[in-house]
Amino acid sequence: MNTTFADTNSIKKSSIGSFRIQRGIAIGFGLLAALLILGAILVPGFISPRNARSILLLAAFLGLASLGQTLCALVGALDLSIPYLIGGANILFPSLLVAGLPAWLAIVVVVLLGAFIGFGNGLLSFKLQGQALIMSLGIGFAVVGAVQLYTSLGSAFGGTVFAPVPNWLRNFAAFNGKTFGFPVPPVVILWLLLTAAAIWALYNTWFGRSVYAVGGSRVAAARLGISELRVWTAIHSVSGAMSALTGVLLLGFSGGGFVGVGDPYLFTTVAAVVIGGTSLLGGAGGYGATVLGVLVLTVLTSLLVGLGLNFAAQQAIVGLLIVPMVAIYARSPHIRFQV
């Protein structure tokens, strides 16, 4: 981690950070292995290509939605507009198709709109820092309300959009989708590619190192000539764009536009980031850790479904596991050591 300028602000801090992260990743892998073994013992057919495919597919959606959340957490922000942008994109895209836009153009429009909203979110919340998550919540409300208004203009079905989903999008994101004949939905491949790109970019580009620098110490980052505003708005733009993309892809998965499709992602994206070991205070962690968190969360959910638990019980158990998970490696120091 000491290859670039970004760590010069506090070598001690960053080495503690990387130790924590490595321990977090080791624990994550341990937990994942334990869950898989438990699943193999308790649920017949848990270790099968079929189940692996469904886990990967669900993980891909969560992973795509969590990319922006990870970047935000790295600078100490949380983006709570993600579920609303997902829901908004999920109904805006089909209504654009109905309006006669070609599918590729509609995707570009929706993703750019998402990036634009994320940019606005970053710009407005920059001065607020500690209250940024509430700002993003407000933006989310406003956006989803506006999109629902737009889609229900001249439509008798408030909030629900009926449009034929293009076949290629169905194949792209549905459970039985195929990539060049292989029985893996292309969205999983897309997620893997984006994962590789995100991890590479976070460690090797000026932008990626700037994100860590700002998250680690704002004063030090400013001394290095890094524009905090630019980093802040850029990561929120990425978050907005990724949310919009996830919303479009989820349409291929579900087959019908539904504004509530994003709702579970409000807390699961945060949970995935936290379980992976990225500190919500900023500066430590990365997308690789989040991918691990996404897999742990998805395998756990799959295990609980396999055990026959309903949604309420799944939610309760995931909630119960978060605090001990975080307590293992992300405890803050006692106040007497912070003075």
Partner 1 sequence: MSSQSKLSSVFQDRSLFVPAALFVVLILVAAIISPRLFTVNGLGGAILVATPLILTTLALTPIVMAGRASVDLSVGPLLGFINVTLIAWLVGNGVTNPVAVVAWVIGIGAVYQLIQALIIIYVRVAPIIVTLSSFLVLSGVNLMVMSSPGGVAPDWMMSWGAGTAIFSPVLVLLIAAFVLWGAVRRTAFFGHLRMTGADERMAYTSGVRVDLVRITAHVMGGVFVGLAALSYTALISSGDPTQGSNYTLQAVTALVLGGANLAGGRGGALGSTLGALNMFLISYLLSVFSFGNVTGFVTQMAFGVILVASLLVNVFMTNRRVAH
> Where along the sequence are the contacts to partner 1 (CB under 8 A)?
78, 124, 127-131, 134-135, 137-146, 148-149, 152, 156, 158-159, 217-219, 267, 270-271, 274, 280-281, 310-323, 326-327, 330-336, 338-339
In 10 A of CB 164, how many CB atoms?
10
For residues 252 and 277, which CB has a smaller minimum distance to partner 1 in the complex? 277
Q: How far is the CB of 217 from partner 1 (least distance, A)?
A: 8
Q: How far is the CB of 156 from partner 1 (least distance, A)?
A: 8
Spatial contact of 56 and 184, defined as CB atoms under 8 Å apart: yes
Closest to partner 1 by CB, 165 vs 300, is 300
Which residues, 6 or more positions from 184, have their beta carbon under 8 angstroms from its beta carbon? 53, 56, 177, 178
The CA-CA-CA angle for residues 238, 143, 89, to 5°, reads 60
| Maximum C-alpha span of the chain | 63
CA distances from 77 to 97, 116, 232, 239 (A): 34, 18, 9, 11
CA distance 10 to 223: 13
Least Å distance between CB 302 and partner 1? 17
Least separation in angstroms between residue 63's CB and partner 1 is 19
Q: State the amino acid at position 254 in one-letter form.
A: S
Q: Which ranges in the chain belong to alpha helices (H)? A: 11-42, 49-74, 82-98, 103-125, 132-152, 167-173, 186-204, 206-216, 218-223, 228-254, 265-276, 287-306, 311-329
For partner 1, the closer of residues 131 and 176 by Cβ is 131
Question: Which CB, 23 or 178, lies closer to partner 1?
Answer: 23
Minimum Å distance from CB 196 to partner 1?
28
Least Å distance, CB 240 to partner 1, is: 15
**Residue 308 in 3-state DSSP?**
coil
Nearer to partner 1 by Cβ, of 106 and 270: the residue is 270
